[in-house]
Structure 1
Amino acid sequence: MTITSRPGARRTGYQPSPGGGRATWRRPRRDRVVEALWGYAFIAPLGLGLAVFYLWPVLQTAYFSFTAWGAFGGHSWSGLDNYRQLLHDHEFGQALVNTLAYTALGLVSIPLAIVFAALLDRPGLRGTGAYRTLFFLPVVTMPVAVAMVWRWLYNGDYGLVNYLLSLVGLKGPHWVSDPRVALFALVVVGVWSSIGYNLVIFLAGMQGIPKEYYEAAEIDGAGPVRQFFSVTLPLLSPTAFFVSVISVIGSLQLFDLVYVMAGSGAAARSNPAFPRLETVVQLFYDRAFVTNDRGYAAAIVMVLLLIIVVLTAIQFRLQRRWVHYG
């Protein structure tokens, strides 16, 4: 039955189709406005919190990056002087190289987490819950505690790592003081700390893959290894993309491990390996809270924010191409 246009049609919400077909129902404008206001009211607390604790500090830091601060507080507009200084700051360049190297080397935790997740996802494996707990323990442990334990393990005189090496006739270096191995020692701690988080995410992704795919692959004669490369890995690409984005952002903001294992200020700079350990966030901390050059520190952290945005955009771009050509 076709409903024709009549004076009460707009008031009741019925809108006749132009071609005389079936009429459609459209809610009155007042109801839609009220529903939108309720929606904004529900998200207002979260939006207010994001604006006060995230957006406003970012805007304030961006403003401070164009200012010069005195030793006793107070600031004045300095324009682009802080950014010009960054271009000629060798220490910032070395810290940026260290941060990017740590980020690149730390990505090894992703394939390791995938392999361990595949092993734990095997049907009939006993003690899966215990294994997951052991892998996840470093994630819920305080980073400062983790750094202090590893600092003791890496001690060149009485550390457990060098003791184990001495049992097989090898002499271990001073891991945190040797510029040749200090960064790699830090990467080992970072991978050990993050692999449990990545493993849990990959386990959830694997358990979301329909079992019918594995059954079809088994009928076609594919063994466990072939199923892993032909079924598991392709279907885990969205999960791997999420983990890679989170890992890169977290690695670029590395601070606590360096602060505890290498120290800060004059004590840290006496360490021969400190130039190979200092990260961008560590340099920001020293400039902001040790030397009180907060304008320059704000410029450092704004450059870091720009690098994170660019790398994240590149990852999203590569993911879209992967999906398109896959």
Structure 2
Amino acid sequence: MSATTGTAGTTAPAAPPIRRRRSGRRRSAVVGYLFVAPVALGLLALYLYPAISTFLLSFTHWGPFGGNTFSGLTNYAAVFSSDLFWRALLNTIAYMAIGLLVIPVAIVIAALLNKPGLRGVAVYRALYFIPFITLPVASGMVWKWLYNGEYGLINSFLEMVGIPGTYWVANPATALVAIGIVQVWSQVGYYLVIFIAGIKAIPTEYSEAAEIDGAGPFRRFFHITLPLLSPSIFFCTVINVIATLQIFDLIYVMTQSSGANPAHNATQSIVTLFYETAFVNNDKGTATALAFLLMLLIAALTAVQFRLQRRWVQYA
């Protein structure tokens, strides 16, 4: 009996040739690379190449009419020796901390809007989402008028209840917090939509079973909704940190557009300092060093968040 004949006398199917299998794998790999190529080229052209260029240009000195010469670590020495940089760094971290408040605010509002029997949920979602799609410049101008120390509506309301107002965006003690409040107000709609979708994806059987066991609404929220919403919370936290570290529009419109504002330095962020260094002081070498340091800060904080998320999942 031949090797290709089975016990019943039938011939076993021949194995596919090795060349045919290799060519099939090669063809599948080529097709896969073709599908990935547009995204890979986009990442290379829009992210990797600018990052490498910024890093290389941060070691150069730019002339007033273009052109650059190698200057070593001079730009980084100028950045780290500047008191304004450390002030801007602390302000940027403060903006990030205030911006993170949008996460619990959006979670609470999403939980309230997911209550069964609530009418007009679509209208509420639209009202919360409108500030997010509004241009930051427009939002900043409106809030700058509301914060006005002489005829702003906020001070007018405070005077009605006997509380003295202040120059909110001109007072160094209140300007940063005032901008942070506008930042939270303008971003809550975006995270609200994500959390509403995340809560709706949680099976209702869990809450119903907990309610039968006697768990109240607060206990169900903290022991069922929040733990199952953790993937959405992690995503929103990463996106929020990256966005707040790059805050520029609101700061520039509300405090930086007027050079005589006493709160100019008190609200300076790394991005506004980059703008001022590059386009006002025309020191593009130092500005590129600032940009690269900001990129490193964002990458480091994002890596820390992913590390903490993996540990949280591991011990959960």
Which TM class, normalised by the smaller chain length?
over 0.9
Summarize deviations over 1:115-160 as a string: whole Å, max 9, x none: 1000001111000000000010111111111111111111111111
User: Which residue in 2 is equivalent to 1:9?
Assistant: 15
Matched ranges for 1:100-111 at <5 A: 100-111=93-104
List runs of 5+ in structure 1 lacking aligned partners. 14-26
User: Which residue in 2 is equivalent to 1:20?
Assistant: none
Residue 307 of structure 2 is aligned to residue 325 of structure 1: no
Residue 263 of structure 2 is aligned to residue 273 of structure 1: yes
Q: Which amino acid aligns with 2:315?
A: Y
Matched ranges for 1:154-193 at <5 A: 154-193=147-186
Residue 293 of structure 2 is aligned to residue 293 of structure 1: no
Looking at structure 2, the residues matched to 9 and 169 of structure 1 have their Cα atoms a distance apart, in angstroms, of 90
Report the RMSD for the aligned CA atoms in angstroms: 1.9
Return the match for 1:241 from 215, 226, 234.
234
Matched ranges for 1:134-283 at <5 A: 134-264=127-257, 267-268=258-259, 270-283=260-273
Deviates more, 1:307-316 or 1:37-46: 37-46
Summarize deviations over 1:163-188 as a string: whole Å, max 9, x none: 11111122210011001111110110
* 1:45 positional shift: 2.3
Looking at structure 2, the residues matched to 222 and 169 of structure 1 have their Cα atoms a distance apart, in angstroms, of 43
* 1:47 positional shift: 2.1
Summarize deviations over 1:72-93 as a string: whole Å, max 9, x none: 2211001111111221110111
User: Which residue in 1 is equivalent to 2:305?
Assistant: 315
Looking at structure 2, the residues matched to 216 and 3 of structure 1 have their Cα atoms a distance apart, in angstroms, of 61
Residue 117 of structure 2 is aligned to residue 124 of structure 1: yes
Matched ranges for 1:1-80 at <5 A: 8-11=14-17, 28-80=21-73
Looking at structure 2, the residues matched to 240 and 6 of structure 1 have their Cα atoms a distance apart, in angstroms, of 56
Looking at structure 1, the residues matched to 105 and 35 of structure 2 have their Cα atoms a distance apart, in angstroms, of 41
Looking at structure 2, the residues matched to 313 and 323 of structure 1 have their Cα atoms a distance apart, in angstroms, of 15
Looking at structure 2, the residues matched to 278 and 3 of structure 1 have their Cα atoms a distance apart, in angstroms, of 80
User: Which residue in 2 is equivalent to 1:16?
Assistant: none
Shift of the 3–203 alpha-carbon distance from structure 1 to 2, 3 Å rule, reads farther
Summarize deviations over 1:218-252 as a string: whole Å, max 9, x none: 12111211110110011111111111111111000
Q: Percent identity among equivalent residues? A: 55
* 1:31 positional shift: 1.3
Number of corresponding residues: 309
User: Which residue in 1 is equivalent to 2:8?
Assistant: none
Looking at structure 2, the residues matched to 52 and 204 of structure 1 have their Cα atoms a distance apart, in angstroms, of 33
Q: Which amino acid aligns with 2:207?
A: Y
Q: Which amino acid aligns with 1:163?
A: S
* 1:46 positional shift: 2.6
* 1:12 positional shift: 7.7
* 1:6 positional shift: 9.1
List runs of 5+ in structure 2 lacking aligned partners. 6-10
Looking at structure 2, the residues matched to 189 and 153 of structure 1 have their Cα atoms a distance apart, in angstroms, of 11
Q: Secondary structure at the match of 1:9?
A: coil
User: Which residue in 2 is equivalent to 1:19?
Assistant: none
Looking at structure 2, the residues matched to 235 and 172 of structure 1 have their Cα atoms a distance apart, in angstroms, of 43
Residue 292 of structure 2 is aligned to residue 302 of structure 1: yes
**TM-score for both structures, normalised by structure 1:** 0.91
Looking at structure 1, the residues matched to 101 and 244 of structure 2 have their Cα atoms a distance apart, in angstroms, of 12
Shift of the 316–3 alpha-carbon distance from structure 1 to 2, 3 Å rule, reads farther
Q: Secondary structure at the match of 2:30?
A: helix
**TM-score for both structures, normalised by structure 2:** 0.93
Looking at structure 2, the residues matched to 172 and 225 of structure 1 have their Cα atoms a distance apart, in angstroms, of 37
